[in-house]
Amino acid sequence: MSLFVQKFGGTSVGSVERIEAVAEKVAGFVENGHDIVVVVSAMSGETNRLIGMANEILEHPTPREMDVLVSTGEQVTIALLCMALHKRKIDAKSYTGGQVKILTDDAHTKARIQQIDSESIHSDLKNNHVVVVAGFQGVDENGNITTLGRGGSDTTAVALAAALEADECQIYTDVDGVYTTDPRVCEKAHRMERITFEEMLEMASLGSKVLQIRSVEFAGKYSVPLRVLSSFKEGPGTLISLEESSDMEQPVISGIAFTRDEAKLTIRGVPDIPGVASKVLGPISDANIEVDVIVQNIAADGTTDITFTVQRGEMAKASQILDNTAQELGAREVLSDDKIAKVSIVGVGMRSHAGVASTMFQALAADNINIQLITTSEIKVSVVIDEKYMELAVRSLHSAFGLDQEQDQE
């Protein structure tokens, strides 16, 4: 008998029929004698619908009220799922984040979980109840409702699994595991049997939204066995684990991630003197804008150019700040471009293999895709390219690194 925390995402609870199917699945585990804690998302599209209504009233509603609003989506699904479980003669109890005491900081819309009171859940489990918890939400120490950022139900599930010392945290979604890249973009993508926390963290951070970044951080930190599976069909899914696969044929690159969420800004002709990067980027970070890729050109005529990327939604604000900096420094011009995409290759195998970046650049060149910016770390190489070539780049890299072939062999 095991204790599983099972999370079902938006599509998996997208209709009453789907909720009944989830109840059926959970009932199967209960019949086999397992203790089950379920975490559910809002029905698919619901969180966006709620945000849309808020924005019809105000462009920038207060984060506190946004949290009160968007947390309602999950409250609907916990109740409906419990009813579907009751119909199957299973004792089930629903809890909101506040009721189950998921204590977070007070950073509304992006709160971090600080503590979970697992006592009451354990006692429900002891009484043979299935416990159904609303994902994505918590409360701060003053009892205000908070939410954990988009995709946050994954993090609720992992945090609960850590607090309850569950045998496994199972993330049920609309794909049957973590793929070499998003199967919606590359039909030759295939499911990985396992992936390391380190690689999964890079994949999530670089745009693969199959798991929320924070859930992977949490799982790694507390060594929570984490598995991504399909709620629609049976299968082993993908295990996110500490160890690298012992398979000698392990490819150098495990996966390809991409994002359209960034925008590029350039300040041209700033004086090439010590402190200039901090003069350019200081005001950006003072405005709480996160900067990702940064490139400074070599100097010509005593001046240089600095280019960096920010979240697309923050481009206008960053550009305004940069215009002021440009005036102060006597820079030539400020350019901004939001039609970019970042494509990244990820793999722990990179540590022990040379030539990975050049294979990447060759593959992109063969398709005439121009690279605008490059950034690397120990286990990833990212390039910024024109947005319109993003899908082509993903597919080219997928085949250049032999990820297509593997599927053919299966």
Q: Which is nearer to Mg ion, 9 or 347 (CB)?
A: 9
Contact with ligand ADP (CB under 6 A): which of 175, 200, 326, 363? Answer: 175
C-alpha distances (whole Å) from 223 to each of 34, 165, 182, 215, 269 are 21, 10, 25, 11, 49
Q: Least distance (Å) from ligand ADP to the CB of residue 155?
A: 11
Q: Which is nearer to Mg ion, 9 or 177 (CB)?
A: 9
Contact with ligand ADP (CB under 6 A): which of 178, 240, 331, 379? Answer: 178
Q: Is there binding between residue 14 and ligand ASP (CB under 6 A)? A: no
89 token code pair:
């003669």
CB under 5 to 8 A by kind: which of Mg ion, ligand ADP, ligand ASP, none does 182 bind? ligand ADP
Q: Is there binding between residue 393 and ligand ASP (CB under 6 A)? A: no
Contact with ligand ASP (CB under 6 A): which of 42, 195, 226, 289? Answer: 42
DSSP assignments along 40-85, one per residue: E-PPTTHHHHHHHHHHHH-SS--HHHHHHHHTHHHHHHHHHHHHHH
Comparing CA positions, the residue from 255, 245, 172, 169 lying closest to residue 206 is: 255
Q: Is there binding between residue 177 and Mg ion (CB under 5 A)? A: no
β-strands 130-134, 35-40 pairing:
parallel
Q: Is there binding between residue 272 and ligand ADP (CB under 6 A)? A: no
Hey, which residues does 294 pair with through a beta bridge?
308
Residues 50-109 that bind ligand ASP (CB under 6 A): 73
The CA distance from 112 to 104, in Å, is 5
Q: Which is nearer to Mg ion, 138 or 151 (CB)?
A: 151
Contact with ligand ASP (CB under 6 A): which of 11, 41, 104, 309? Answer: 41
Q: Least distance (Å) from Mg ion to the CB of residue 154?
A: 6
Q: Is there binding between residue 4 and ligand ASP (CB under 6 A)? A: no
Strand positions, DSSP E, 252-330: 255-259, 262-271, 291-296, 303-311
Comparing CA positions, the residue from 218, 201, 222 lying closest to residue 148 is: 218
Q: Is there binding between residue 151 and Mg ion (CB under 5 A)? A: yes
Helices (H), 236-314: 276-286
Q: Which is nearer to ligand ASP, 152 or 237 (CB)?
A: 152
Backbone phi, then psi, for 325, in 5-degree steps? -60, -40
Q: Which residues bind ligand ADP (CB under 6 A)?
A: 9-12, 41, 151, 173-175, 178-179, 181-182, 184, 208-210, 255
